[in-house]
Structure 1
Amino acid sequence: MRNNQLTKRSGLSIMEIYNGQIILSWIFTLQGIVNSQFTFNLTDSSSTDCSEDADLLFLIDTSRSLGLTAYQKELRFVEKVLEGYQIGSNRTKVAVITFSAGSRLEFDFNGHNSKDDVIRAIRGLSYTDGMSTTIYRALEQARREVFTPGAGDRPNVKNLAVILTDGETNPGEYDAYSLEMAKTLTRQEANQLKFHGVEVFGIGVGHRVDNVEMVGISTCNNKPADVFFMVDKSSSLGSQANFDKELSFIARFVEGFNIGQGPKDVRVGVISFSTEAKLEFGLASYGDKRSLQNALLGIEFSLGNTYTHKAFDILLNRGFSASKRPSTVPRVGVIMTDGQSTNPYKLEDVLMMVKLRGIEIFSIGFGSSDLGELNMMATVPDHTHVFVVDDVHTLDTVRDELYLEICNLIGQS
């Protein structure tokens, strides 16, 4: 079980790979997360040439905690990435932001039109040795000053942002934010970029990285999955406003996924439940993130009991029945509830069938939820599939951790 204190993963960072502890081919197409330890894959074994053009931004940590040696490794890493790209005004274009105490736009997409010029500029970057790690400021600058037409951003190519940092967001004395607020700002700015179509990759450097934060700000990998959220709208929630907290949680959660109907996209459906359960929309209903989020926020609250088993009935018999996807595509159900099921015996019966079908279940409890029932509903092990918070107002404290676990599951498929 997870409570509302996010834990840190002891995963391998990209710089550990760079130092040769794991051998991967140096072929870079920024394809996301590849293993359960959340090492980020910038590899494609098929070719050393990244033939797909992109507008590629690097956000490079220059803070004191990094150290000059690790900073120089960051720069060499960026050079290595660029070896696989054809750089030019009509091919891949590169921009760089550095950050520590504040952020600095070193050059935008109009700055350099050849690989030699880009690499020369990167080698000339200065190590600032700043006392803060203001990732949120770098992301905000990316949104306002880099991914814009005036900075050379193009509408017809992929937008990529790669963040290299040795640790978690830390405002230090540069900004008057608490650590919690600063980390929230980092997530919000990353979500803003993702909402506007930028794929974001967080890469940890060294052993002190907050991998939960890195995964939380990153776009999940480009593998497909089908995900259903089952949302409690029983009387104990009290109001539409409280129910909306559940819906807003989901709307923010999906920011990190490539939502769509393509073969490598994540599809999302929603089932609501109280005395009755309702399929609000299915997996094939929405082909883009904005439409999905608008539909989520339009679901209405209703009074009633907590017949959780009826939500699982719909999940089992209607949710994935028209999937038309290979059986290897992960099928995930996320149950969100604030209380004990009104009919636990029927719930046990339907859950047996759900798990026999290979559907991975995550449970989120809040308010007066029953921990034993949350554990029963979830796929084992409980410590990676069960999340408990105090109330609907604190749901966001487990968002990154749930995102990490589901990305992990998708990456293993």
Structure 2
Amino acid sequence: MVFVIDSSSSIWEPNFKQQLQFVQQMVNTFDVSQNKTRIGAINFSNRVVREFHLKTHDSKERVLSAISEVEYTAGDSTNTNEALMVLRTEYFTEWSGDRSDVPNIAILLTDGGSTLMAETVNEANLNKETGVSMFAVGIGHTVNEEELTLIASAPKADFMYILENVTELQTEAFTQLISHQACKILKNDTNEEMCKRIVDVVFVIDSSRSIWITYFKQQLQFVKQLVNAFDVGQGKTRIGAINFSNRHMTEFHLNAYDSKEDILNAVSNVQYTAGDMTNTFDALRLLRTEAFSEVNGDRSDIPNIAILLTDGESSNMASTVKEAQLTREAGVTIFAIGIGDKIIKEELEQIASSPTSDYMHVLETFTELQAGDFVKRIIDLACKGKNFTYMGELSLLVLTFNC
């Protein structure tokens, strides 16, 4: 595993040090030695600094010490292409300590676009062609999402992440998320058991302006993580999506796409509308009256699951509660999950099915939405049909957070 750390001047020195702390947190999750996991590090800006190779340090303590000594260079350009070339031609080589029978993982940290995007993408592709699993982690508002998408390995939902700031980088939930994905590679366990339960799933995605665009994109990442867990096809699980704020629109219906790849691409193309209202009640009405209809691909003999993501209090609580009640009366099981310290618990309680101890949950931070344990919990409920006693019933998961 090699960490590729951005040290350009756009990253302030305190933030650079927080990157190093994240690297140390990651190292602490692995069993490090020359016979087990080996760690290397590259520091880059206008120049590339070869901090230490895979064979340099033979213990976790020495690796952690070496990371603490990595210096901030404050270069005036971001030559990611050169860092990735060094990664490929020097680090993942036998001379550097690379082992041909062990998976290779690179974790790139950057706060913006590279100076030469075409060269960067080319070098990333060359790395991936040699078998390197590329994680691309972007931090802040100046991240080039298109470039990160092209750098990261597939599926992008597992290998590309965009964070609002370096503080999120250091959360335990995010460290666990990346460690979990890396461990799957090291254990040759990238193909987790897929959910074989056949369901019709519609994601209802909040796009109001109270959700910053970075967090909106993280919603899409969460959606893609869940999509990846299902066996998708018109004869298997079907997926649909609704996007809402002051207005609502159907992004794609249950019968729109036949393959997981097409659905993941469609999710990536969902646009942030930044509406000035959160008309959750309209989204619930559209969900109940149109999304789960035969003409749009709903199957009467297949369980229906809707996953609603929202940023908190709706624009009209009374109407939202009424629509939630109508949905429950139609046989809907509603999960209400709030994130942050400004959650309107009263509204969540009236949206959620009973008992609320099972169907209403509050997460402390937004990053926890993508944490492996939380995602797995939601997938297990949807896949196993826990507490879903009737075929054709509609199960609704509500996730809400504050930015």
Query: If the length of structure 2 is used for normalisation, what is the TM-score?
Result: 0.49
Query: If the length of structure 1 is used for normalisation, what is the TM-score?
Result: 0.48
Structure with more relative contact order (C-alpha pairs < 8 Å, separation 6 or more) = 1
